[in-house]
Structure 1
Amino acid sequence: MLLRSFLVISLLSLLALGPKPKPKAPATGAPAAGVPATVTMTKAVLQDKIKGGWAGQVIGCTFGGPTEFKFNGTMMNDYQPIPWYDGYIKKTMIENVGLYDDLYMDLTFVDVFEKKGIDAPVSEHANAFAKAGYMLWHANQVGRNNILNGMKAPESGHWLNNPHADDIDFQIEADFSGLMAPGMPNTAVQLGDSIGHIMNSGDGWYGGVYVGAMYALAFVSNDVNYVVREGLKTIPAQSTFHQCIADVIKWHGQYPNDWKRTWLEIQRKWADDVGCSDGVFAPYNIDAKINSAYIVLGLLYGQGDYTKTMQISTRAGQDSDCNPSSAGGILGVMLGYDKIPADWKLGLKEAEDIDFKYTTMSLNDVYGIGMKHALQVIGRNGGQVTGDKVTIAVQTPKPVRLEQNFTGHYPTEKSGINKDLTDEYTTRFDGIGFVLSGDAKPNKQTGQYEYESDYTAQVEVYVDDTKLETARLPASFTRRRYDLTWKYQLAPGPHTLRLKLLNPNKNATVRLRNLIVFGNKPILARY
């Protein structure tokens, strides 16, 4: 059975890849011109779609897990095998619990809605997120550190306070918003707005807005072209996020049989990472735009075929577990749980009663909770629930407000420091901003790093002899600051950066890693 399943998926994989002589016709369903003002379905159909959305995330996350950030700046070759077999989902959920951050992050907010109500204030979500036991990275971790140090949303996700504000974080955890708001993209945006600003802003927030809108629209249309295009109407056309996805749609029209050509166009135009300290001047790219582009790549070239969608969104590379998770969830809503191909649900039922790590919820739990929340939101937004029938008041997508991060800031230099801060450190740079990556860590104990510690390093930061801050750097991995210090919007010209460690500790190390400098013009503009 295992070998047969693997061979089936491998064969389907080969069929999914490479150009075809004719593009497949769009999936049938709602016409491209739109959908009716109201859509009525049975509760059973609605539940099936909600199940498809949550199950699709698990399937995509599991499938793409082994390739996550192993193909950066390059697509995955056709001959590269990706494992899939009966029992693989259960095995992964038990042995690789951290892979499912897409899910247990989602469920943090679902749990708050369940316990505190649909109108729960953002502070409830922020506190639950910040104090949870799971490890976080990038915009999530900076947002968590900001919340734990008294900053509130939306300031915690603003790019001036969060160098990772354009990263993928809210995009991978915004699924809940669309699953709660069937056919109502604007309501999905409202449900996720304040939550998304805990950790993101600008393009990072737009990633979650867009994914949530596509989930909502997938309940009322079976046309992936419609869902992709209509969902984009929630994003302001002036934003770089909108421009990136509009390009993907355009290139799909130009090269309808060749997803790899569109991938190359995406790489050529949109591969630059501006904010993330790990992605600047590196092939690694966790920016929301390009990873959302890979979600759309899978949806448009998959055209409703689950295997093609999963293969393409994964083989595009970069965050290749999160991207097929979102694409698989959106398509899972469109198809419904029952119509997700059987080979993709191998062993799923055996995993549906397993609680996700750091939660008390399993897939079976969230299927029911998700249905409950969706019915509440439908009733509160012009819909009706009558007996076995559910009528949804479908919304026309409206653009959210314009937010654009790092305007006028261009990375110009990344220099390695790679020194321990034991007393003071001084360096100079020429630009309008900087990010200094670094952290505090407990020293090795019993042959391995301890992840938790009560020590918090305090580092005074001076720019041009003016005190910028006293940076607090917890040595605890779950409470760490992620980047040591940063500042934007400085006057153009030379600056001096000086650090002073106030409380050295023999059991911990403060490490200075890289200095990233920003100028007011791109590098090529200098020549």
Structure 2
Amino acid sequence: MTPVGTEHELADRVLGGWLGRIAGNMLGKPVEQGDLWTRDRIDRYLRRAAALPLTDYLPEPPPGDDEGFELRPEWRQCVRGRIHGSCRDDDVDYAILGLDLLETHGFDFSTEQVGDLWLLRLPYLQTFTAERAAYRNLANGLKPPLTATYDNPHQEWIGALIRADIFGWTRPGLPHRAASLARRDAVLSHTGNGVYGAMWAAALVSAAFTAPTVRQALTEALTVIPASSRLARTVRRVISLHDTRLSWEDTLTTVSEETAGLGWIHTVPNAAVLTAGLLYGDGDFTRTITLTVRGGLDTDSNGATAGSVAGVLTGAEAIPAQWQDPLEDTVRSAVFGFDGVRISELADRTLRLVGSE
């Protein structure tokens, strides 16, 4: 007996996690620049394109744009009507790399083996912020945990969090075990709230397999990180504001003011946007990922994690066609040996790891 009932249900929800991560990432990719694409600017763009309420991938820029709505250069491959398979992105690359890690070294992998796999499989120029600092330190012969702390000003940024889903997918209903795996991976490049973010995200994905509601999954995920951490306090703050029936907009405005100064790639404010998207999305896949991306900051990373959690909660069969069909069951990836892999193959390989040691 699997933690979610039948083998078919487990397979559907693992596939839902992969599809959700990729679709959410694609949704947020064109506006991934949180210092420019604020929540207000994203909604102004959508209104200009007559795309609110948002129920599909972002529309391409409307003709005659004179407001300077400049999307990221990759937008032509990831807006509605132009998508043919997923775009390459680090938010998906790290999920693939994590799968390769578990297939190669098993669940007893070491942090050093994570680093070795980066050097073997991941091009240096496809790493960013804390990961690039850690990669450079690895290449210069440093070992963990020094790889995370030497000449690395990004130790609490969101990079480790985006690497965590695979540990939740392969440890369904076991959030503490998922968090332990994520921590071992995260300390290669992060410290403090950067590590806690990875643990929280892995636990959240894991809990989504068995929790009756997204609220319960969020509550379970908080048990794996220190209650006094700024990350835990911020997530609890979003939950409490939601409980008062404050609007999604007012909740994000309140928490944005309380986390001002941390920067748009820091783990803590992004966890707030993600938590709000999940709570106000209330288990609906489309509403969850669209609210999360409209929340701004690191839009593609937050969309990816929200999509993963929502996809696990609903299963692949319940993800609407407008999100699945354009992906054409195909992933572009910078991870050596994986470019063009089928999403369904990634899900099958992930499923085979569930229950293994």
Q: Distance in 2 between matches of 1:49 and 1:216?
A: 11
Once the 2 structures are TM-superposed, how far is the Cα of residue 64 of structure 1 from its aligned partner?
0.8
Q: Kindly name which structure, 1 or 2, has the bigger radius of gyration based on alpha carbons.
A: 1
Given that 1:174 and 1:208 are in contact with CA atoms closer than 8 Å, whether structure 2 keeps it comes out as: yes
Given that 1:130 and 1:145 are in contact with CA atoms closer than 8 Å, whether structure 2 keeps it comes out as: no
Cα distance change, pair 128–336 in 1 and its aligned pair in 2 (3 A): same
Cα distance change, pair 40–308 in 1 and its aligned pair in 2 (3 A): closer
Q: Distance in 2 between matches of 1:354 and 1:228?
A: 29
Match of 2:153 among 163, 171, 176: 163
Once the 2 structures are TM-superposed, how far is the Cα of residue 121 of structure 1 from its aligned partner?
2.4
Q: Distance in 2 between matches of 1:164 and 1:117?
A: 28
Match of 1:288 among 244, 267, 272: 267
CA deviation map 1:265-307 (0-9, x unaligned): 111101222xxxxx4xxxxx11001111111110000001112
Runs (5+) with no aligned partner, structure 1: 1-37, 274-278, 280-284, 378-527
1:206 correspondence with 2:174: no
Aligned to 2:10: 46
TM-score (norm 2): 0.84
1:261 correspondence with 2:261: no
Q: Distance in 1 between matches of 2:82 and 2:17?
A: 20
Once the 2 structures are TM-superposed, how far is the Cα of residue 355 of structure 1 from its aligned partner?
5.0
Cα distance change, pair 368–39 in 1 and its aligned pair in 2 (3 A): closer
| SS of 1:102 mapped into structure 2 | helix
Aligned to 1:59: 23
Cα distance change, pair 263–40 in 1 and its aligned pair in 2 (3 A): closer
Q: Distance in 2 between matches of 1:86 and 1:329?
A: 23
Q: Distance in 2 between matches of 1:40 and 1:266?
A: 34
Give the number of the structure with larger relative contact order, counting CA–CA contacts within 8 Å between residues 6 or more apart. 2
Q: Distance in 2 between matches of 1:86 and 1:368?
A: 28
Aligned residues between the structures: 320
| SS of 1:198 mapped into structure 2 | coil
Aligned to 2:281: 302
The amino acid across from 1:144 in the alignment is Y
The amino acid across from 2:47 in the alignment is Y
Cα distance change, pair 89–313 in 1 and its aligned pair in 2 (3 A): farther
Q: Distance in 1 between matches of 2:100 and 2:3?
A: 28
Match of 1:146 among 137, 151, 175: 137
Runs (5+) with no aligned partner, structure 2: 52-57, 60-78
Once the 2 structures are TM-superposed, how far is the Cα of residue 86 of structure 1 from its aligned partner?
5.3
Cα distance change, pair 314–89 in 1 and its aligned pair in 2 (3 A): farther
Once the 2 structures are TM-superposed, how far is the Cα of residue 359 of structure 1 from its aligned partner?
3.5
| SS of 2:160 mapped into structure 1 | helix
Given that 2:138 and 2:147 are in contact with CA atoms closer than 8 Å, whether structure 1 keeps it comes out as: yes
Q: Distance in 2 between matches of 1:165 and 1:130?
A: 20
1:88 correspondence with 2:77: no
Aligned to 2:127: 136
Aligned to 1:172: 162
Larger relative strand fraction: 1
1:373 correspondence with 2:353: yes
The amino acid across from 2:334 in the alignment is K
CA deviation map 1:360-410 (0-9, x unaligned): 332222111100111315xxxxxxxxxxxxxxxxxxxxxxxxxxxxxxxxx
Match of 1:107 among 78, 96, 101: 96
| SS of 1:294 mapped into structure 2 | helix
Q: Distance in 2 between matches of 1:144 and 1:62?
A: 25
| SS of 2:142 mapped into structure 1 | coil
Cα distance change, pair 214–259 in 1 and its aligned pair in 2 (3 A): same
The amino acid across from 2:356 in the alignment is Q
Aligned to 2:315: 336
Q: Distance in 2 between matches of 1:300 and 1:192?
A: 23
Q: Distance in 1 between matches of 2:128 and 2:3?
A: 40
TM-score (norm 1): 0.58
Query: Pairwise CA RMSD of aligned residues?
Result: 1.9
Given that 1:86 and 1:346 are in contact with CA atoms closer than 8 Å, whether structure 2 keeps it comes out as: no
Given that 1:57 and 1:329 are in contact with CA atoms closer than 8 Å, whether structure 2 keeps it comes out as: yes
Match of 2:334 among 348, 357, 360: 357
Q: Distance in 2 between matches of 1:325 and 1:373?
A: 22
Q: Distance in 1 between matches of 2:346 and 2:285?
A: 22
Given that 1:73 and 1:267 are in contact with CA atoms closer than 8 Å, whether structure 2 keeps it comes out as: no
Mapping 1:60-75, distance limit 5 Å? 60-69=24-33, 71-72=36-37, 74-75=39-40
CA deviation map 1:295-349 (0-9, x unaligned): 111000000111211111001111111101100101100111111122221323x
Given that 1:255 and 1:261 are in contact with CA atoms closer than 8 Å, whether structure 2 keeps it comes out as: no
Given that 2:171 and 2:177 are in contact with CA atoms closer than 8 Å, whether structure 1 keeps it comes out as: yes
Match of 1:181 among 171, 178, 182: 171
Counting aligned pairs with the same residue, the percent is 27
The amino acid across from 2:139 in the alignment is L
Q: Which 4+ residue blocks in structure 1 deviate beyond 3 angstroms?
A: 70-75, 84-87
Once the 2 structures are TM-superposed, how far is the Cα of residue 195 of structure 1 from its aligned partner?
0.9
Q: Distance in 2 between matches of 1:324 and 1:336?
A: 17
Given that 1:153 and 1:194 are in contact with CA atoms closer than 8 Å, whether structure 2 keeps it comes out as: no
Once the 2 structures are TM-superposed, how far is the Cα of residue 156 of structure 1 from its aligned partner?
1.6
The amino acid across from 2:333 in the alignment is F
| SS of 1:376 mapped into structure 2 | coil
Larger relative helix fraction: 2
Given that 1:104 and 1:359 are in contact with CA atoms closer than 8 Å, whether structure 2 keeps it comes out as: no
